[in-house]
Amino acid sequence: MSDKSKIIKVKKNTQGDIIYVMLENGNVYPINEIITMAKEHLIEGVNVAKSRNGREYLRSNPNDEEDDNLDNKPTFQ
């Protein structure tokens, strides 16, 4: 059994960027905090990447399933 948490829902801004995530325990975190947690290997199924401008962002680990991609997760208000 894994000690890592899973992201189950996301909240996006008007531009479609993920700004908050909800973990399976119901806790909600801002994206910058989740990025830090992912770097510490506390979040299952994601990794931290860098854009061309150097900004860090969260992305799903590559696999053949589209329904577990972060953009495809259910949203919350």
- Taking CA 68 as the corner, what is the angle to CA 52 and CA 42, rounded to the nearest 5 degrees? 70
Residue 35 parent element (H or E): helix 31-39
Bridge-partner residues for 28, per DSSP?
A: 22
The average pLDDT across 14-20 equals: 94
Q: Is the pLDDT of residue 1 over 70?
A: no
What tokens appear for 22 in the block? Answer: 């909800």
Distances (CA, A) of 77 to 9, 13, 21, 28, 45: 10, 10, 11, 11, 23
Predicted local confidence at residue 2, as pLDDT? 65
pTM of this structure:
0.86
Closest listed residue to residue 29, CA positions, set 53, 45, 5, 49: 5
**Ranges of each domain in the chain:** 7-72
Predicted local confidence at residue 42, as pLDDT? 96
Q: Is the pLDDT of residue 22 over 80?
A: yes
pLDDT tens readout for residues 25-76: 999 999 999 999 999 999 999 999 999 999 999 999 887 777 668 989 999 9
